[in-house]
Amino acid sequence: MILKTEIDKLVEKYEVSEFIKDDPIQFPHRYKAKKDIELAGFISSLVAYGSRKQFIQKLNLLFDIAQNEPLNFIQNFEPEIIGDFNYRFGKPEDFISIFLTLKRLYNSSEGLEELFEYGYKQEKMFETVVDYFYSTATDKVKQGFYQMIPNPRNGGAMKRMCMYLRWMVRKGPVDLGVWNFITPAQLYIPLDVHVARVSRQMGLLCRKANDFKSVIELTDNLKKLCEDDPVKYDFAMFGFGVNR
């Protein structure tokens, strides 16, 4: 297993502001108001899969469509605004359904933080958030909708939602830390193919499947290294891959 001193050095090297410019977290960093930040982060996390170059290019286009005003875009959203915008599996009707749900949420409540906090208090945070989007989904949604809003009951790693929570809850040179209803100690590591491979090489993950059971196993092992902030090692996983 990798030594704590070694993995801590990787965090120190890669958890720096320079990290932001090539990562999807660059989009919420454009804003100062909390609701703009959380919406920009949530929208960015939806399509943060596949080629990084491609999805960042698509997000730049989407934020141009939104005139770089996420809250105003959502609160006044009409389907024709996005035209034929799509990304891989996500077709216009999938984005329309998500944005209409966000419009309803932000015009009737305090928004995503309130929704996530309610789910947290019910001890079913991911399920509560996903069920809210599923309950208002239009009958036109297809595969792309469920790719962007996956069902946690299927046992998947929920990588992008874990990543989004890291952005919103942790505070540091990269993460924004605008939510405080949970602590960094309660977060789960965002697990994708890269993080899974690196964590196995480090001796931090034994389970072979890249599922939520692996997320729990890896997070528990990272807590042994830093109980208060286990997901800071997401930066170490990234750095270890770069170094190799």
The string of pLDDT tens digits covering residues 52-78 is 999 999 999 999 999 999 999 999 999
Q: What per-residue confidence (pLDDT) applies to 199?
A: 96
Biggest CA-to-CA distance, the chain: 54
Higher pLDDT, 125 or 238: 125
User: Does the structure show a pLDDT above 70 at 178?
Assistant: yes
Q: Which residues pair with 156 in a beta bridge?
A: 211
DSSP 8-46: HHHHHHHSSGGGGGGSGGGTGGG--SHHHHHHHHHHHHH
User: Does the structure show a pLDDT above 90 at 129?
Assistant: yes
Tell me what the mean pLDDT of segment 219-223 comes to.
98
Band (pLDDT 50/70/90 cuts) for residue 243 is low
Q: Let me know: does 205 contact 217? Beta carbons within 8 Å.
A: yes
Tell me what the mean pLDDT of segment 122-127 comes to.
98
Q: What per-residue confidence (pLDDT) applies to 240?
A: 82
% residues pLDDT > 70 (the chain): 99
User: Does the structure show a pLDDT above 70 at 244?
Assistant: no
Secondary structure element (H or E) that encloses residue 62, with its range:
helix 52-65
Band (pLDDT 50/70/90 cuts) for residue 91 is very high
Mean pLDDT (the chain, rounded): 96
Q: What per-residue confidence (pLDDT) applies to 1?
A: 86
Q: Let me know: does 115 contact 129? Beta carbons within 8 Å.
A: yes
The structure tokens 């040179």 sit at 173
Q: Let me know: does 156 contact 212? Beta carbons within 8 Å.
A: yes
Secondary structure element (H or E) that encloses residue 195, with its range:
helix 193-201
Q: How far is CA 169 from the centre of its chain?
A: 11
User: Does the structure show a pLDDT above 90 at 80?
Assistant: yes
Read off the tokens for 139.
Answer: 């009958």
CA 201 to CA 42: how far, in whole Å?
31
> What are the residues whose beta carbons fall under 8 Å from the beta carbon of 47, sequence distance 6 or more?
55, 58, 59, 87, 88, 90, 148
Q: What per-residue confidence (pLDDT) applies to 238?
A: 87
Residues in the chain: 244
User: Does the structure show a pLDDT above 90 at 242?
Assistant: no
Tell me what the mean pLDDT of segment 20-31 comes to.
97
Q: What per-residue confidence (pLDDT) applies to 168?
A: 98
199-211 pLDDT, tens digit per residue, is: 999 999 999 999 9
CA 173 to CA 140: how far, in whole Å?
40
